């Protein structure tokens, strides 16, 4: 079955990832998706752009722009922890999972050896901070994988 719509590119024949496109309509190595069926939001981990894009799917069409970005200050940045490890930074976000029962979004932050937990019970916003880090003692640490208590496997 052919796809109905294309997200991350303007159409089925375009690829901006290799040319460094970083906007609300570009994806570069989307490796994880999760869907919120209540709010009709699609969460896409955009690993090479160090972020998660949130698409509000009502009125979807080819090249639909993301509504929010998590892990970056804005849609045109793709720095990996340029301001250090924080509650709002991501570095190689590889997977996402939405827990509808608890209204929490889990994002793997691979290069920082942690999983970030976002409370989205009050909605999603651009550059929203995580509430908790799993795999680290706090939201600003990136201790390597030598300690079994903090090791991410």
**What pLDDT, in 10s, does the model give residues 70-121?**
999 999 998 886 667 999 999 999 999 999 999 999 999 999 999 999 999 9
Q: Global pTM?
A: 0.89
User: Which residue in 23, 43, 149, 26 sits closest to 94, CA to CA?
Assistant: 43
**What pLDDT, in 10s, does the model give residues 18-57?**
666 789 988 988 999 999 999 999 999 999 999 999 999 9
Domains and CATH numbers, the chain: 17-134 (2.40.10.500)
What is the pLDDT at residue 85?
Answer: 92
Question: Sign (positive/negative) of CA torsion 81, 85, 88, 92?
Answer: positive
What is the pLDDT at residue 152?
Answer: 46
Q: How far, in Å, CA of 153 to CA of 145, rounded?
A: 9
Q: How far, in Å, CA of 28 to CA of 50, rounded?
A: 9
């Amino acid at each position: 079955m052919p796809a109905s719509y294309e997200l991350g590119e303007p159409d089925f024949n375009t690829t901006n990832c290799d040319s460094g496109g970083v906007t609300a309509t570009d994806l570069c190595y989307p490796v994880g998706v999760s869907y919120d069926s209540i709010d009709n939001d699609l969460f896409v981990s955009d690993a090479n752009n160090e972020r998660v894009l949130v698409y509000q799917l009502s009125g979807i069409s080819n090249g639909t722009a993301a509504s929010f970005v998590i892990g970056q200050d804005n849609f045109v940045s793709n720095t990996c922890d340029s301001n250090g490890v924080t509650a709002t930074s991501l570095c190689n976000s590889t997977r996402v999972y939405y827990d509808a029962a608890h209204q929490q979004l889990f994002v793997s932050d691979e290069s920082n050896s942690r999983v970030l937990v976002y409370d989205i019970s009050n909605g999603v916003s651009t550059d929203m901070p995580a509430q908790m880090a799993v795999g680290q003692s706090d939201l600003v640490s990136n201790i390597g994988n030598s300690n079994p208590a903090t090791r991410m496997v």
